[in-house]
Amino acid sequence: MDLTLLQILIGIFSLIFVIISFVVGILIMSKYIEYKKNVFLLVGFTWIIMSEVWWSSSVSFLFALYGVGLTDEVYFLIGNIFVPVALFAWITAFTELKMKDKQRLLQVIFLIIAVFYYAVFLFFIFTEVSVIGQMRGPVDGIYNTLALIFLLTGLFTFVITGILFAAESFKSSDRATRIKGGFLIAAFISFGIGGGLDGLKPFLFAPELLDIIELITRIILISSAIEFYFGFILPPFIKNLFITPE
């Protein structure tokens, strides 16, 4: 199976984004050992699973290198099956930090949405996968309206609540906390732009531009993962760039 240079780059950058997301998620989760707060487990897990949409591009790229193509059903299963779980974990983490009094209500709402999504998604995966989407080439697929609406709604929810959460950091008198908040806001915005542009690209750009746009989205997503790490962990070398030691 021949791959163009752009398809190879898309596959490589998809893989880089997924690997970085796993590393970032695990590092955040490991903070539970130090602080004993469940929010680190939830946030780290969420970031790993929110990258799932691009697992399919990474896996299809690796298979394509050996001349094997994924079916549409396998591609979209790999990229979607855990997304509702990630959104439920995120809303749980968000309400641990804000709107604690609304936590149970929001959990129930997202649980109902997840059950509905699974029922619809699995039905079409095994009966008429084209309703979900179709492969656009050996590495990438495009989503049709039904799945795209759910994914963009989930993306919008993740980004808006994330920005609301990060904005609280600016109320702190601690400069390091404010810097972390800035990185988190940048991460959520980057993730929103990268994810949204990736999903909407067939509706916004001519077919001959799609590979280039897809490569750009992968670069934006990689930057979001790095920013997310800086926002939650703030490594010493980044802290020292913004705060002069006394």
Residue range 154-204, pLDDT digits in tens = 999 999 999 998 998 898 889 999 999 999 999 999 999 999 999 999 999
What is the distance between the terminal CA atoms of the chain, rounded to a whole angstrom?
59
pLDDT tens string 121-152: 999 999 999 999 999 889 999 999 989 999 99
Q: HSE, CB side, 13 Å, CA atoms: give it for residue 207.
A: 3
In the chain, what are the domain boundaries?
Answer: 5-242
- Sign of the torsion formed by the C-alpha atoms of 182, 193, 48 and 209: negative
pLDDT per residue over 109-121, tens digit each? 999 999 999 999 9
Number of H helices, E strands in the chain: 10, 2
Q: What angle do CA 213, 218, 219 make, to 5 degrees?
A: 100
**Token pair belonging to 77:** 């299963």
List of E strands, the chain: 133-135, 141-143
Length of the chain: 246
Q: Tens of pLDDT along 42-71? A: 999 999 999 999 999 999 999 999 999 899
CATH fold of 5-242: Rhopdopsin 7-helix transmembrane proteins (1.20.1070)
Residue closest to 87 by CA, chosen among 160, 22, 38, 145? 160
Residue pair 140/10 in contact (Cβ under 8 Å)? The answer is yes
Give pTM, 2 decimals: 0.93
Q: Look-up: residue for tokens 């670069």?
A: 219
Give the torsion sign (CA, 70, 20, 210, 80). Answer: positive
Phi-psi region of 26 (alpha: psi -120 to 50; beta: other; left: phi over 0): alpha
